[in-house]
Amino acid sequence: MSKIAIIGGTGLTSINGLEITGREIVQTPFGEPSGPLVQGILAGHNVYFLPRHGAGHTIPPHKINYRANIWALKEAGVEQVISINAVGGIRKDMQPGSLVIPDQIIDYTISRTNTFFEEGLKQVVHIDFTEPFCESLRKLIIKAAETHSIAIIGDGTYAATQGPRLETAAEVNRLEKDGCHLIGMTCMPEAALAREKDLCYASISVVANLAAGRGEGALTMEVIEKNLNSGIDRVRQLLEAVIPSLD
């Protein structure tokens, strides 16, 4: 079986049911990953787990060392990565608590180091990113959800915003006009770096809130965290359903 990693997001700094068997501190040429790689057993299979905001959830999206995280996973021999991302929902069907397996990305992040290919190159490299997520992994997640009757939405365009602030209502309107369906701060440059390292990468995005201006009142961390907690149990079920099918 190929090595699998789960990158945990807001609301998933640990996984219930993950039997921890070890911790690996990985040094990388790009500095420190968000923390040690946690080795464990989930659904009877060995997995790596890396909480991208750090074990204590202290690293904000724009400060994450995405290159170190992806490099560490590659170095550990990982081939498939399931990324868990908290998002705001724009499309009507993306209500708080929904799980979305996005199929496209528009990148609005700025000033994040977003490539491994910038220094000491023998040749300039442009990766293909037409399909930013690994389609075979997306399909397996969608199939596992169907088989286990776990409600998911199997498509959506993810707007990757810079943060750490949430959006204005007008920004959300513009993102919707651009064709975006969900908004998060962490899928980029993570997905592109994973592609540069030839990792098969897909996201389970958990809708934490209606996007700014689409619900009642102001968005607070309390509301976001409460909704995430209600979605995260289904994320675990989905992980347990899909992991046995990842060969």
Applying CB under 6 A, the residues found at the interface with ligand HPA are 86-88, 161, 166-167, 183-185, 208-209, 211, 224
Question: Which residues are bridge partners to 40 per DSSP?
Answer: 20, 47
Residue 159 in contact with residue 182, Cβ under 8 Å?
A: yes
Residues facing 20 on adjacent strands: 40
d(CA 73, CA 143): 25
Q: Which is nearer to ligand HPA, 47 or 207 (CB)?
A: 207
Q: Which is nearer to ligand HPA, 36 or 54 (CB)?
A: 54
Q: Could you give the CA distance from residue 169 to residue 211 in angstroms, rounded to a whole number?
A: 8
By the 8 A CB rule, do 84 and 231 touch? no
Side-chain half-sphere CA neighbours of 241 within 13 A: 21
The least distance separating ligand HPA from the CB of residue 115, rounded to whole angstroms, comes to: 23
Q: Which is nearer to ligand HPA, 116 or 158 (CB)?
A: 158
Are residues 190 and 5 in contact, defined by beta-carbon separation less than 8 angstroms? no
Query: Quick check: helix, strand or coil at residue 74?
Result: helix
CB of 23 to ligand HPA, least distance (A): 27
Q: Which residue has the tokens 């390292």?
A: 197
Between 78 and 172, whose beta carbon lies closer to ligand HPA? 172
Rounded to a whole number of angstroms, the minimum distance from the CB of residue 193 to ligand HPA is 19
Cβ-count burial 155-164 (b if 16+ within 10 Å, e if not): ebbbbbbebe
Least distance from C-beta 33 to ligand HPA, angstroms?
Answer: 21
Comparison of 193 and 207: residue with beta carbon closer to ligand HPA: 207
Complex with ligand HPA: residue 48 or 133, whichever CB lies closer = 133
